[in-house]
Amino acid sequence: MLRYELTDADVGGVRFGISPLCELGLSLRAVHDPSRFPLQLPWLRRTEPARQRLDMRTLLALVDDRQWTPDFLNPSPASPLTRIDDELAALAGTPDDVVEHDLVAVHGSIPAALGRTPAEALARIVAALHEMWDLCFEPYWPRIRAVLEADIAFRGRVLAQSGLSRMLNELAPTVSFDGRAVSMTTCDPRPRSYATDGAGLTLVPTMFTRRASAPVSFGPPMILYSARGQGALWETEDVSDPAAVTAVLGAVRARLLVALAEPASSTELAVRFDVTTSAVNQHLRVLRDAGLVTSSRYGRSVLYLRSDLGSALLAGAA
């Protein structure tokens, strides 16, 4: 059990972030044991040829049978705009004692596959991760980021409408908030309790955790939780359209209106409906100009959401 004891400043300082490096490191869990991540099997299949060209001996040495990875692969992101190049550059500057400590915390020692010294291990790790990003993540990152940003937008709506307690208690079945402390059931049997002392709490959505996880050792207070909407990432969507609305708007716009019960970007919608992003953007602009959807910028993406008028239109058709 992990427990973060929050101060008043921490309660007001709960924030969200997106970390490309966290996704990269945590994805090794799915590579190590695909059976635990059925929603990511399409990604594993798509990247299998590329992974045959990677230094998998180094990469798989970063995850153990408990699905733990070293804390230096899970930096606390400053914002949803974190760039992988910046994170890899910061990782390359990790002090030797931190590298050794984090590897020992997971494996009990530095795995032989990583070399004899922390410096040698870090050089191999950074090179292998950089190559993995280029081959296995960069082509799909806009899709993945769209899902993560949509999740944050959803949690922000819950926070604004129902408060912090409900938002935190709905993160994952293993996470609970009693108004003062956030508790999380983890695979680590040790009871751990930390006073965050004004450091805040960062919430990081990810595609590669089944429930929720946190740093192995105490670092910046952070909870990594499973993002909503992962199932739609790799599959096209076939939404049945209310006939009356379809007659007015057309089939594509009616399907988009039905799907926008939750925030989504045009990139995510293009993947779900198997059409081009430019085509989706054209339809979304028409729906927005008609007042049927709203839009707001979040990081690099514009997220769309069905408006009250759009919901009333669908309800009337039903």
Rounded to 5°, angle at Cα 267 from 263 and 269? 55
Q: Say what the pLDDT of residue 318 is.
A: 53
CA atoms 237, 43, 68, 33: torsion sign = positive
Q: According to DSSP H, which parts of the chain are helical? A: 8-12, 20-32, 41-51, 56-60, 84-92, 96-107, 118-132, 141-162, 164-169, 243-249, 251-259, 266-273, 277-289, 308-317
DSSP-based helix, strand, coil % in the chain, nearest 5: 50, 15, 35
Looking at residue 20, what is its pLDDT? Answer: 95
CB 119 within 8 A of CB 230: no
pLDDT of 189: 73
Domain boundaries, the chain: 2-15+144-228, 19-141, 236-317
Chunked mean pLDDT (size 10), the chain, 318 residues:
84 88 94 91 92 95 91 86 92 95 92 92 96 93 84 86 92 90 82 80 91 79 88 58 74 87 82 84 92 79 84 74
Closest by Cα among 18, 32, 95 to 62? 32
Predicted pLDDT of residue 232:
64
Q: State the pLDDT at residue 240.
A: 52
Please name the amino acid found at residue 148: L
pTM of the model: 0.76
CA gap 116, 91 in Å, rounded:
19
Which candidate, 129, 77, 85, 43, places its Cα nearest to that of 299? Answer: 77
Task: From the options 3.40.50.10800, 3.40.50.11270, 2.60.34.30, 1.10.10.10, give the CATH code of 236-317.
Answer: 1.10.10.10
